[in-house]
Structure 1
C-alpha cells in the first residue's frame, strides 16, 4: 500500500515541477460542421488534460485558442488566462462554431493577432492544430510562413484523411509532432504530446509514466533535446524519487536549472516495463507501421503483436525479436478499424501489453474519364465517369470570368448521382477539375483545360 507520506511527496513534486517552462502555445481547433459534437467535446477534454499541469502567466506558459469554422475567431488570446481554473472554465464554456473548415482564415488570425513578441524574446512559440483531417484547404503556404517565423507546428488528427498534407505542414520529427488517433483514445497520447510541446526530448526517450513532463528516465545513449520551452530555475532542492513499482535498476534525471539532481539512491526509481507507448507512424489503405518503446533489449525476451478487425475479425499474431521496436502490418482491409496489441515478455517472467485502435485509410479511386464540350463562347458542358463504392459526390473547381488573383477559383459540390453539369461565364483557357468525394476525403482530381474563344463581331 502507498503511504500518506509518499502521496504527499508526490503531490509536492508535481506542484513544483509544473512551473517548468516559459513559452506560447496557440491551439487551432477544428470547430467546423465536419466535426461531430461527440468528437468536439473529446477534443476539448483532451486540451483540458493536456494543459492542466502548467502554471500560466507572462513569464510562464501562455495559451491561446483559435476556432476554425466558416468565420474563424480567437476564442481567447495569450494574455487572457494566468490561472488554471480560469483556463479550464473557458474551455468548458467553449461552443462549437460549425460551418465550413476555413483554416486559411484562421491561420491569418494567428499571424495578425497572436504572433506578437513577448518580453522574453527567446521564448518559443508552438502552434497545435487539432483537426479531423477533412478538407482543411490550402494551408501549406500559411503553415510554411509560421515555420519560417520560428513557430513549431504540431498536429493531432482524429480523422483518416489528409495524412500526406499533415506530414508536409508539421515541424519534424514526425514521430512525436504528428499523431493520428481515434477521438475516443486521445487520452492515450496526452503525456507524449505534452512532452512534444515542451520539447523534452530529441529522440524517442524513455518517460516515467505518471510523472510530470520534465522528469525523465534517460535512455542508455540518448541526449536531451535543445528545441524546448525555456526552463525556469528552481531554488528549492527537491527529491522526487517516488515509485510504486519493483525491479529497481535505473535512476531518473531531474533538470531543475539551479540544481540538477541525480537520484542515486539504490531504490530510487523502478524500471519502466516496455511497452509504455505504442503509436502508428505510417498508415495506408492496406497496411500500417507501428512503433513502440522504450527499447529494453537487456530485459525483453520477445515482442508479440496481435491484431484483428473489429468487432469480431480473426486475430493474427506476429512474434518479433527483442531488439525490434517497430513492424509493418500488411494485408489489411481498407477503411477498417483494427485492435492492435503489442506485448513484451520480460526475462523476469512479467508480461506488459498495450493496445491501440487504428483505422486503415479509405481507398479513394480517381475518375476514369473527364470530357469537356464547348457550348457558346463562355460555357462548357462537363461530363465524367465514376462509380466507385462509397462515393458521396463530386467536387468541381474552375476559373471564372472574373478570375484575377492567383489561386482563386470557384467550386461546386454535386451529389453522387450527377455525372455532368454546365459551367458558364468561364475564363479563356479555364482549368476545370473534378474530384470524387468519399466519406473521409476527396480523391485525386482529374483536370482538363477548356479552349474557349470569344466571338468576334463583324
Structure 2
C-alpha cells in the first residue's frame, strides 16, 4: 500500500510541474490539475514532454422551458425538476458556470436572468415555483428574446464566456418560419444550442427537422429526443458531460511530439502506453 501511495504522490507531483493549477474541480479520477482529470491507467511511463496551455473558461447556460398548453401540469413539474438536477450536478463539477431560467408559450418570461439567479437565496425553490403559462408554442420569438435580452451584460452574461442555450419542447413551433432569423441572431452571438424534443410529436420528419434547426451543428451532437418527460433523467449525465467538455480544451504535446486537444473530465480512447491516462487521442 505504501508503495502505491508513493507512486501516486510522485506522479501527481510530476504532473503539477507541467500543468499550471487554475481551478479545483470534482473529478472522477484521482485529482484535478488546471481543469484536467488525471488518473493512473496501465503501466507507468514518462509524462508528456510539455503541456502547452491549460485554461478554464466561464460558461453561461440558459434554460428555455416549453410551458405551452400541450404540456400537462405534472410534466411541467418533471421538466423543472430535471433543470434543478442538472444545475446541481454541474455546480458540483465546477464553479465557472452561471445559470438563467426562462419559459415560453405564446410569450416568453425570463424568470431568472444570470444576475438574479446568482443572487437568489434559494434558486431551486424559485425554479420549482415557476407557474406554467399554458398557451401556444412561439419558439422562434422566445429564442430571439433570449438572444437580445438575456445574453447581454445587463442581465449578467459575461462577454468572454461560452454561451449555451438549452431548449426543452414537446412539439413544433407556431412561428417556424421565423426560426432561421432567430437562429442567425443566436449564431452571431456564438450561442451553443441544445434542443431536447419530448414525446411522439417528434416522430414526424418535419418536427425532427425543426429540432435540427434549433440546435447547433452538427445536429447529432446537439439534439436529444426522449419519449416522455420522465425520460429526461436518462440524458442528464450525457448532457452534463457535453457541457463540461465545452467548458474548455487543454492543449498538450504527446510523447510523439504531436499536439492534441483533450476535453476536461471526458472519457477518451486512452492508450495503455501513456502515463496518467491523459493522452494520446487517435489521430485527427
Q: Could you state the TM-score of these two structures normalised by the residue count of structure 2?
A: 0.62
Using the alignment, how far apart are the partners of 1:86 and 1:32 within structure 2? Answer: 26
Using the alignment, how far apart are the partners of 1:146 and 1:34 within structure 2? Answer: 26
1:169 alignment partner in structure 2 = 214
1:135 alignment partner in structure 2 = 173
DSSP-derived class of the 1:196 partner: helix
- Deviation sequence 1:390-424 (CA, Å, 0-9, x none): xxxxxxxxxxxxxxxxxxxxxxxxxxxxxxxxxxx
Measured at CA, do residues 250 and 78 of structure 1 come closer, stay the same or move farther in structure 2, by a change above 3 Å? farther
Alpha-carbon offset, residue 97 of structure 1: 0.8
Using the alignment, how far apart are the partners of 1:92 and 1:14 within structure 2? Answer: 28
DSSP-derived class of the 1:54 partner: helix
1:72 alignment partner in structure 2 = 108
Measured at CA, do residues 13 and 171 of structure 1 come closer, stay the same or move farther in structure 2, by a change above 3 Å? closer
Using the alignment, how far apart are the partners of 1:169 and 1:51 within structure 2? Answer: 22
RMSD, aligned CA: 3.4
1:157 alignment partner in structure 2 = 197
Measured at CA, do residues 66 and 136 of structure 1 come closer, stay the same or move farther in structure 2, by a change above 3 Å? farther
Q: Which of residues 142, 167, 186 is equivalent to 1:106?
A: 142
Using the alignment, how far apart are the partners of 2:157 and 2:247 within structure 1? Answer: 26
Using the alignment, how far apart are the partners of 1:193 and 1:69 within structure 2? Answer: 24
Count, aligned residues? 204
- C-alpha contact (below 8 Å) 1:147/1:153 kept by paired residues: no
Bigger radius of gyration: 1
- C-alpha contact (below 8 Å) 1:29/1:131 kept by paired residues: yes
Measured at CA, do residues 126 and 143 of structure 1 come closer, stay the same or move farther in structure 2, by a change above 3 Å? same
Runs of 5+ consecutive residues of structure 1 not aligned to the other structure? 1-11, 203-212, 222-248, 254-261, 265-458
- C-alpha contact (below 8 Å) 1:133/1:163 kept by paired residues: no
The structure showing larger relative contact order (alpha-carbon pairs under 8 Å, at least 6 residues apart) is 2
Alpha-carbon offset, residue 82 of structure 1: 2.6
Using the alignment, how far apart are the partners of 2:27 and 2:193 within structure 1? Answer: 27
Using the alignment, how far apart are the partners of 1:169 and 1:92 within structure 2? Answer: 25
Q: Could you state the TM-score of these two structures normalised by the residue count of structure 1?
A: 0.40
DSSP-derived class of the 1:80 partner: helix
Runs of 5+ consecutive residues of structure 2 not aligned to the other structure? 1-24, 36-55, 249-262, 279-284
- C-alpha contact (below 8 Å) 1:63/1:77 kept by paired residues: yes
1:24 equivalenced with 2:53 (yes/no): no
